[in-house]
Structure 1
Amino acid sequence: MVQSINTKVDLVSDATSHMGISEYGKIMIGDKGFEFFNSRDARKFIQIPWDEVDFVTASVMFKGKWIPRYAVQTKLNGKYIFSSKEPKKVLRAIRNYVDPSHMVQSLSFFDVIKRGFKSKVKK
């Protein structure tokens, strides 16, 4: 069994990890870090201490009505992508531990197309 890094838990929510093949489990947000535990295999888990979190990026659609997924970018190990049943509650709990200026909204589909078009025009 995996030992949790948190001593106090703020939120536990059903979630999906999108690292390669999607894995279902639970997200635990506490005083020491962000944790994901797989519901089927106890050996598959992700633990990210708060001092390792660099940015939290959220995909926001329909003017904030729907957040399909969010990513936790670490300083050393890259980006971890998650989705959950209650993403707004998860992001509000993360905001207590991560500086709100480090929580950003990802680019929309049209923003990506617009940037690509502008880069082609500049060349």
Structure 2
Amino acid sequence: MIGNKNGDVLVGDKAFEFYNSRNPEDYIQIPWDEIMRVRAQLFFRDKYIRGFFIDTKSAGSYNFVVKNAGKTLKTMRDFLGNEKIVRNKPVLSLKRALEWFKRRK
């Protein structure tokens, strides 16, 4: 597990890369063929993209919060295709919780 680290995200022609800003030797490279899916974290009725999860075939899932998530996802789409960039489905959305609460009355 990485924990919270500040750094730079690079979208290259062979891999997605994250470099720690304090220690450049601390980095992650995820080859494009290793990525199963990228799940975008959408908020405020899909107006704001906070970041994204990258689900890999062997190493699990990574969470990235980036400044320009929309631009980053558009660039990643060129390498992955539209079918691998999806919306993140929250475990319990507020809309479903309100509907459930109204039915209980």
Residue in 2 that maps onto 1:95:
77
Give 4+ residue runs of structure 1 displaced > 3 Å after superposition. 111-114
Q: Which amino acid aligns with 1:99?
A: G
Q: For residues 112 and 102 of structure 1, what CA distance do their matches in structure 2 show?
A: 26
- For 1:24-58, what per-residue CA distance to the aligned partner results, in whole angstroms no more than 9, with x for missing partners? 00000011110000010123110001111110001
Q: For residues 94 and 33 of structure 2, what CA distance do their matches in structure 1 show?
A: 31
Q: Which amino acid aligns with 1:67?
A: I
1:48–1:60 Cα change, 3 Å: same
Say which of 76, 81, 93 aligns to 1:110: 93
Q: How well do the aligned residues superpose, as a CA RMSD in angstroms?
A: 2.0
Q: Which has the higher helix share?
A: 2
Matches within 5 A, 1:68-83: 68-83=50-65
Overall identity of the aligned pairs, in %? 34
Q: State the shift of 1:59 in Å.
A: 1.0
Matches within 5 A, 1:14-53: 19-53=1-35
Q: Which runs of 5+ in 1 are unaligned?
A: 1-18, 118-123
Between the two structures, name the one with larger relative contact order (CA 8 Å, sep ≥ 6).
1
Matched, 1:64 2:46: yes
Q: Which runs of 5+ in 2 are unaligned?
A: 101-105
- For 1:70-114, what per-residue CA distance to the aligned partner results, in whole angstroms no more than 9, with x for missing partners? 011111111111011100000000000012111111124427966
1:106–1:112 Cα change, 3 Å: farther
Q: For residues 51 and 94 of structure 1, what CA distance do their matches in structure 2 show?
A: 12
Q: What TM-score comes out, normalization by structure 2 length?
A: 0.82
